[in-house]
Amino acid sequence: MEIYFDNSATTAPYKEVCETVADTMSRFYGNPSSLHRIGKAAEDLLNDCRESVARSIGASADEIIFISGGTESDNTAIIGYCMANKRRGNKIITSKIEHPAVLEAVKHLEQSGFEAVYLDVDETGKVDIEQLKSELDENTLLVSVMHVNNETGTIQPVEEIAAMVHSVGAVFHVDAVQSYGKIKIDVKKLGADLLTVSAHKVHGPKGVGALYIKKAVRISPVIYGGGQERGLRSSTENLPAIAGFAKAVDIMTDNFDIAVSAMGKIKAYFANKLKESIENIVVNTPEDSVCSVLNISFVGVKSEVLLHVLEDKGIYVSSGSACSSHKKGRSHVLTAMGKKDNVTDSSLRFSFCGSNTIEEADAAIAVLTEQVPVLSRIMR
């Protein structure tokens, strides 16, 4: 038995994605920048993929650059925009619960002389809008707030934030890595000037993503070289991965409503059953959260211990976010939400995809119902 409830860390690529990657490697091996026929075939495919990804977020193809993933996209959006526009202001506003790809990029700019503000969040993980209002000023260059938090599934009021950011003439970057494929994204309606997505969270290949750059928004590259991707991300495009990404996006678009409804059902079922059958549970995910993420603390049981007990039974979950779970220390997200240490230290993240089933949820619930009381007695 293998039950994979760690889809926020990464997803299994669709079979069609694997086939597309292999097929592109052998049939479209040309360099999209080459002037001959083999290069042109690769360039045509690259353009088709750009159209697919652009369409999936309501952008036009010339507003998309392909990049190595969410981390590089976040870095390029933040560092690239601030470096290109530093004469216009010096202040960057983000939140305390961003992914390290955003937090570390902002910290890097802080060391180079930019001023950074890290917004507080409330107990549900939503950013403090009043604090944002009081911090926004004419010196504000960029605001970066994630659409959905990777650890708790909290959805930020991004449209409202976008309007506030634009009222002072600043630019808004949205890390949409965890909302892509779960919440319909239209960059225009949302009000994003820069937006990050990553393929491996939507059943695409790892090491590829896209950065949306609204027309007229100027950024500097972070990677210098041969001038690919409009000079904003040099290096020969990873066409097999990009083609796999576009395939995943097409499948995602075709199955969007069905997948979202399946994830929502399993998440609600899982949460309700656990609340009924296990004592001392704290649900860290708010009610109005994304369909895919459920963060629960089994107070009295250490996360890692429970994670490995589940692993022994073939059930795969995360403690906090996978990106930071190898690092020592408490979740910066749950800490910012004001969770007590015993709640943070006992939290597990269950994250679902469209093909998870109620039977899988039942199997995981059975193990948790049996093991949590035993472990909490041992650890008392």
Ligand X SMILES: Cc1ncc(COP(=O)(O)O)c(C=O)c1O
Catalogue the active-site residues: 323
Long-range contacts made by residues 81-84, C-beta under 8 angstroms, separation at least 24?
81/141, 81/142, 81/171, 81/173, 81/194, 81/217, 81/218, 81/219, 82/109, 82/114, 82/141, 82/142, 83/219, 83/220, 84/218, 84/219, 84/220
Q: Residues 6 or more apart from 188 whose CB is under 8 A from it?
A: 58
* Number of residue whose CB is nearest ligand X: 70
Shortest CB 99 distance to ligand X, Å? 4
Q: Which residues bind ligand X (CB under 6 A)?
A: 69-71, 74, 99, 101, 146, 150, 175, 177-178, 198, 200, 209, 323
In Å, what is the CA distance from 375 to each residue of 143, 312, 329, 346? 43, 14, 22, 12
Identify which of residues 75 and 376 has a Cβ nearer to ligand X in the complex: 75
CA dist., res. 361 & res. 268, Å (int): 10
Shortest CB 333 distance to ligand X, Å? 10
Shortest CB 238 distance to ligand X, Å? 13
Shortest CB 106 distance to ligand X, Å? 13
Identify which of residues 324 and 376 has a Cβ nearer to ligand X in the complex: 324
Identify which of residues 97 and 109 has a Cβ nearer to ligand X in the complex: 97
Identify which of residues 178 and 331 has a Cβ nearer to ligand X in the complex: 178
**Nearest CA to 202 among 329, 355, 2?**
355
Identify which of residues 212 and 300 has a Cβ nearer to ligand X in the complex: 212
Shortest CB 38 distance to ligand X, Å? 30
Tokens of 360: 């899988």
CA dist., res. 355 & res. 365, Å (int): 18
